[in-house]
Amino acid sequence: MSLPMSPVSHGGLEELWLHFGSQLCTVEFGRNIAFHMTDHISAFLRGCSGVKVYNYFINFTAPPSTTESLLVEQSSIQCVGIHAFPCAYLNDNWRHINRHFEFLSSPFLPALKRIILYGDWQEVINDSRFSPTLDPLTQKGCKILFADRLTKPPCDHL
């Protein structure tokens, strides 16, 4: 019996971005460990020039490459939704979280106005390392929101 190949783990997403990336307005990386194995964010940014909303599971998604030649400025992303669903696979969760927030505060996302945190962030926000991680984002005018029943979906804000 053969199992179907995942497009995530076999380069299928790069083909998707190549052919349809310019038509997409929202992209979500699901809770799939394949997103953690390699940098899918950089390829997504290169291929999806019109996306305004990007959602992902932080503990299941590798931070983008620190090689600047792989990253491009993505000037359309205005809102990022991040889910905190835990993943036992991670060894150094703080380093991982910090790398994601460093990227979010970088010049590669100049239009980013809002980050919505989904799931249970209690342990993270109670840690003294979290507030300094958010400082660069708030300094560039980005709002950090915690999702609840009253939080409108990101597209309603755009």
Evaluate whether residue 117 is within a structural domain.
Answer: yes
What are the Cα distances from residue 13, in Å, to 18, 22, 39, 82? Answer: 8, 13, 12, 20
- Which one has a higher pLDDT value, 6 or 54? 54
Cβ–Cβ < 8 Å for 20, 49:
no
pTM to 2 decimal places: 0.85
Evaluate whether residue 35 is within a structural domain.
Answer: yes
Evaluate whether residue 107 is within a structural domain.
Answer: yes
The count of structural domains within the chain is: 1
How many residues in total does the chain contain?
A: 158
What is the model's pLDDT at position 5?
42
Phi, psi (rounded to 5 degrees) for 83: -100, 140
| Structural domain of 63 | 24-157
Evaluate whether residue 149 is within a structural domain.
Answer: yes
Per-residue pLDDT reduced to its tens digit, 113-153: 999 999 999 989 999 999 999 999 999 999 999 887 666 65
Evaluate whether residue 18 is within a structural domain.
Answer: no
Evaluate whether residue 120 is within a structural domain.
Answer: yes
